[in-house]
Amino acid sequence: MTNAEITPAPNFIRAIVEEDIKTGKWDGRVVTRFPPEPNGYLHIGHAKSICLNFGIALEYGGTCHLRFDDTNPTKEEAEYVQSIQEDVRWLGFDWGANIFYASDYFEQLYECAVRLIKKGKAYVCDLSPDQMREYRGTLTKPGKESPYRNRSAEENLDLFSRMRAGEFPDGSRVLRARIDMASGNINMRDPVMYRILRAHHHRTGDKWCIYPLYDFTHCVSDSLERITHSICTLEFEDHRPLYDWFLDELEVYHPQQIEFARLNLTYTVMSKRKLVELVDAGHVRGWDDPRMPTISGMRRRGYSPESIRRFCEVIGVAKRNSTVDAALLEHCVREDLNRKAPRVMSVLRPLRVVLVNYPENREEELEAINNPEDPAMGTRRVPFSRVIYIERDDFREDPPKQFYRLAPGREVRLRYAYYIKCVGVVKDEKSNEVIELHCTYDPETRGGSSPDGRKVKATLHWVSAAHALQAEVRLYESLFLTPTPGEQKGGDFKADINPNSLVVLNSCRVEPGLADAAPGDSYQFERQGYFCVDPDSSPTRLVFNRTATLRDTWAKIEKGLQRS
């Protein structure tokens, strides 16, 4: 852990928590919760919330509950509660025994509803959904009171229990809070607390045919769990008066709801609807496609939990709508992987090189450093022979000004090996494409330095043709071409999809040492980037995903060259 990681940045929520601890508002307790609805996969936006809630609990010696907000059986599935737990755990957080389900509170919620009915604060309403919308009024016009609003408590109690008993068809009646149809805040215009819905629930089965709605459920759940700080996103700010109203009327333990801005990232989309669309339309291979901003996608892409946690720390927490530059996320993985990923040589687009003065049947092993950032990671031996592969991009027949890699007549260093000089270029007769290079090597430069002290400008990675392993490498770019997809083009985010977001290279050659690389392992392919082994990989067919490229100064220069 870096120092920065254990020194959290100040933000307004931490300030509130610290103040509360100081004043003893909650007797010094800190209890937060991460309350996902199990209706989809977690993404980097959820990670921000997870890090915030679990992070604050950890930091102030409190606890953070994992609570599934499972009050809508038509959308929720057990499969998701599984994947959510996996993702939270993978991110590095532990809820201990504190795993809860809103559905566990159904009986208590029902009792709370009965209490409100008895108080005259809730009533059964027979308006149809259409009528209800009509009666609600608009943003600028107040609503009208329902004709059922003044039913007696006895009648409401009777009706509500019969709703539960299944005497009425789906959607025929609801239980509503009796608040204020003229409120400027539409959430306070007698919001629905319960609906009749005959659907199989992933945990309660067919026990219930009425289900509570979010506003009623959430505050009561928080109260039952004695949450201190109920942290949610900005769109719930308008719901806070309702959160407070329910708890005040119920006269129960009352946590404080605090809202923060959700995360947006450039060059991607975050809404569940859009993510579903990408998967369904086949623009990606699934929820865990390495191009997806889902936790499972990022995991497959090679992002480490540490890098995601670090990212969530450096972006900060505030109430301003913002869109974080994807470059910051990239920076966070590089920072982490630079310290941890073993270096390895791998040639993505091979160009055959014959060392004409190297003995035909000779081979040798050269020592290579596993990670210059961490000597403790040791060294390894890499085989070398007369025929090697280098990267096609590392040779130019007619090199531009600032290109100082290999070119006819030019000498460069092969990393950990020898200096070589290009003495011949073999081309395909028809296409005129360069298919092979002839080079001489200098036996005096074994290991990569010359006794006469002469310098070479470039160091190339390479792989011995006879020893290298074939591999498939999947190169990823951002899923979208524009920083905020759909901003132009009439809001159609799919029009901004990057057609080159995935490029598959099939004839890559990697160091033989990679033979037993296991899915999930991360490496730095020297001079190219960070790559990890995909679950599709097998001993007979290695498959790597590019997590991120290395910062590439030459690419920048080249781009500038093209422009001028």
Partner RNA sequence: UGGGGUGUCGCCAAGCGGUAAGGCACGGGUCUUUGGAACCCGCAUUCGGAGGUUCGAAUCCUCCCACCCCAGCCA
In angstroms, what is the minimal distance from the CB of 86 to RNA? Answer: 19
273 assigned to active site: no
Contact stretch for RNA (CB under 7 A) within 47-55, 213-221, 280-288, 296-304: 213-221
Residue for token pair 């795993």: 99
Q: Under rule CB under 7 A, which residues in 3-42 are in contact with RNA? A: 9-12, 15, 35, 37
Name the helix (H) or strand (E) containing 280. helix 272-280
Report which residue type is found at 316: G
- CA 341 vs. chain centroid, Å, equals 20
Of residues 18, 37, 77, 145, which has the active-site annotation?
A: 37
Smallest gap from Cβ 264 to RNA, in A, equals: 7
Q: How many residues bind RNA (CB under 7 A)?
A: 93
172, 470, 488, 500: residue in contact with RNA (rule CB under 7 A): 172
Instruction: Tell me the window of 158-166, 431-439, 489-497, 547-555 that interacts with RNA (CB under 7 A).
Output: 547-555
Asked if 244 touches RNA (CB under 7 A), the answer is no
**Does the footprint of RNA cover residue 88 (CB under 7 A)?**
no
| Nearest alpha carbon to residue 397 among 424, 428, 357 | 424
285 is catalytic: no
Q: Does 378 participate in binding RNA (rule CB under 7 A)?
A: no
65 or 239, CB closer to RNA?
239
User: Is 272 an active-site residue?
Assistant: yes
Q: Which of 153, 157, 270, 324 binds RNA (CB under 7 A)?
A: 324
Shortest reach from residue 476's CB to RNA, in Å = 17
Q: Tell me the C-alpha to C-alpha distance, in Å, between residue 478 and each of 179, 268, 330.
A: 48, 7, 11
Strands (E), 172-326: 174-177, 192-196, 210-212, 229-233, 256-260, 263-265, 322-324
Is 29 exposed, middle or buried, given 0-12, 13-18 or 19+ CB atoms closer than 10 A? middle
CB of 38 to RNA, least distance (A): 9
Q: Are 543 and 346 in contact (CB under 8 A)?
A: no
Using CB under 7 A as the binding rule, the residues of this chain from 516 to 535 that contact RNA are 524, 526-527
User: Contact between 372 and RNA (CB under 7 A)?
Assistant: yes
Residues 260-279 that bind RNA (CB under 7 A): 261, 266
Element (H, E) at 524: strand 522-525
DSSP E strands, 237-315: 256-260, 263-265
Question: Site mask, RNA, residues 474-503, x = CB under 7 A?
Answer: ------------------------------
Decide: is 546 part of the binding site for RNA (CB under 7 A). no
Distance (Å, rounded) from C-alpha 492 to C-alpha 488?
Answer: 8
Q: In a 3-state reduction of DSSP, which class is residue 199?
A: coil
* In 102-239, alpha helices (H): 106-118, 129-136, 153-165, 214-224
Residue with smaller CB distance to RNA, 401 or 430: 401
Taking CB under 7 A as the criterion, which residues in 123-142 touch RNA? 127-129, 132-133, 136, 138-140
Which residue number, 66 or 284, has a Cβ lying nearer to RNA?
66
Residue from 43, 65, 299, 334 touching RNA (CB under 7 A): that is 334
Distances (CA, A) of 146 to 157, 315, 355: 18, 46, 89
Annotated catalytic residue, options 272, 274, 349, 380: 272
Assess 373 for contact with RNA (CB under 7 A).
yes
> Could you give the CA distance from residue 88 to residue 65 in angstroms, rounded to a whole number?
12
Contact window for RNA (CB under 7 A) among 50-58, 69-77, 294-302, 355-363: 69-77
Least gap, CB of 539 to RNA (angstroms): 26
CB of 535: closest distance to RNA in angstroms? 26
As measured in angstroms, the least distance from the Cβ of 553 to RNA is 3
Please pick, from the candidates 82, 152, 402, 488, the single residue that binds RNA as defined by CB under 7 A.
402
Order of strands across the sheet that contains 210-212: 122-125, 174-177, 192-196, 210-212
CB of 536 to RNA, least distance (A): 25
Strands (E), 275-402: 322-324, 343-344, 346-347, 350-355, 363-369, 379-385, 387-391
Decide whether 284 or 350 has the Cβ nearer to RNA: 350
Assign 291 to helix, strand or coil.
coil
Per-position DSSP letters for 171-184, written without gaps between them = TS-EEEE---TT-S
Beta carbon of residue 71, minimum distance to RNA (angstroms, whole number): 4
Q: Is 304 in the site for RNA (CB under 7 A)?
A: no
Catalytic residue among 25, 164, 262, 352: 262
Distance CA 342, CA 357 (A): 32
Q: Which is nearer to RNA, 286 or 450 (CB)?
A: 450
Annotated active-site positions, please? 37, 262, 272
